A = this chain, B = another copy of it.
Amino acid sequence: MTHADHDQSPEPWLTNPFDDDKLKEECGVFGVIGTADASSFVALGLHALQHRGQEAGGIVSYDAEVGFQQARRFGYVRDNFTSHKVMETLPGELAIGHVRYSTAGNKGQTAIRDVQPFFGDFSLGGAAIAHNGNITNAVALRKELVERGSIFQSSSDSECIIHLMARSMGRTIPDRMEEALRKVEGAFSVVAMTRTKLIGLRDPLGVRPLVLGKVGDGWALSSETCALDIIGAEFVREIEPGEMVVITKAGVASHFPFRPAKSRFCIFEHVYFSRPDSILGGRSVYETRENIGRELAKESPVDADLVCPVPDSGTPAAIGFSLESGIPYAMGIIRNQYMGRTFIEPTEQIRNMGVRLKLNVNRALIKGKRVILVDDSVVRGTTSRKIKEMILDAGAAEVHFRIASPPTAWPCFYGVDTPQREKLLAATMSEEEMREHLGVDSLKFISLDGLYRAVGQAKRDNKSPQYCDACFSGEYPIAPSDQITNGFVLKTAAE
């Protein structure tokens, strides 16, 4: 069932100039306990995590006097959670929040009730839950729950968790949450709350990030450290794979409810999803990306006049490439700071109008130069072609693409929005075919081992990889059950 409850519609614009040709993180989560105005801290944290989900956001707070309160909106955090009118409806010292992208299938159809956190009123008190990741057996779980009489409020599979909790016989909410999540397969970093507890939990493989911070006398949970910085919180540590932390005013209690497993953190968080000022696995994301650029320069050098980033996500790798190669770094492509919606196209058509709205070539700089363009990834390849055309129109002598990730050849089922496999350029073409398709003088991707080196490993352990790199390798650490039911074919030995 779809809903037209709102005139509010998801903003039709995107901040990254080529967002339609990027993989998209589907969510960010944030929670705070033990400080006044917890929801204001959560709003700030979500603002810092906005890159993880721009479509909608929600906050749930709890205050003894008014109980649980909730606000969920389409659009940016800055547009929805900054007015006194809204924030004063969310009082208390305990709050959690969520920002989200829509999933691939639902674009433009998301209803406000699909926006997390989800709330359930149990016989032993209410709980709210927000989730980053994806449940890979959600279809089967949902079918069973409906048959037993649960009524789903949303089309979101994350709602399964709250229904499993409602039906659990557990005597505390953390007990019920443990019980519920043991039935769930997939990747999930969860932030939840009861009237007195802030709860954080990562799936056994720890695919998605979740960190713990200290803010004044209270505590914070966040998808990334950059959101701790914005509220002046101190970064304490990462929640461990398979760990559940239950935080009260008394402190942080740690549990390990799942069967132990080897960590498989998402390597693409290093490449693109996380903000460059976050710290992942003890390493600055910015420096990892600069390292990727250095590795690329070593693996695939080329003689040229300028190294230019495709703004803004290619910037750190371009700087690394320049530092390693000695070729000067320059801003050959300028991004319009006022990015935005689709303009009406004049009858007299403008070539590559979509790109021009967002980027402009620094013509006087580029003319006659051999240019290395550094980008973070190639997904469909549509915008790479347009950028190449703009650069050549401006009179570049040569165009060389260097890509800060291996070819993206497989969809992600763990909370990232990817096109279907056949839409991924690298799923159907070799590197040379891609080079021809893009029409550039050279095209090189970093190798999978090069990427592992950039994140500090000697090399990829092919027997038991240190990270989840399924989008590059096709090796899925968690079986995508619903997808397989739905016809998805796993990698064959031949591939």
Contact = CB atoms under 8 A, between A and B. Distances in A.
Interface of A: 1-6, 13, 15-16, 35-37, 40-41, 43-44, 47-48, 50-51, 54, 66-73, 76-79, 81-84, 86-87, 89-90, 112-113, 119-123, 126, 143, 146-153, 162-163, 166-168, 215-216, 226, 229-232, 275-277, 279, 283-284, 286-287, 290, 312, 315-316, 319, 322-323, 328-331, 334, 336-348, 350-351, 356-357, 360-365
Contact of A331 (B41, B79, B149, B286): B286
A126 to B, nearest CB: 6
Contacts of A344: 37, 40, 43, 82-84, 87
Contacts of A72: 3, 5
A343 B4 contact: no
A71 to B, nearest CB: 4
A342 to B, nearest CB: 6
Given A47-B336, A287-B364, A121 B346 contact: no
A286 B334 contact: yes
Contact of A69 (B1, B16, B41): B1
B5 A362 contact: no
A1 B119 contact: yes
Contacts of A330: 286, 290, 319
Given A153-B153, A344-B43, A356-B230, A338 B1 contact: no
Nearest to A166: B149
Closest 5 CB pairs of A and B: A78-B340, A284-B364, A149-B167, A37-B346, A4-B71
Given A1-B121, A341-B79, A360 B149 contact: no
21 contacts: A1-B67, A1-B68, A2-B69, A3-B70, A4-B71, A13-B78, A37-B346, A40-B344, A40-B345, A43-B344, A47-B343, A54-B338, A121-B151, A146-B166, A149-B150, A151-B162, A215-B348, A216-B348, A276-B334, A276-B362, A283-B364
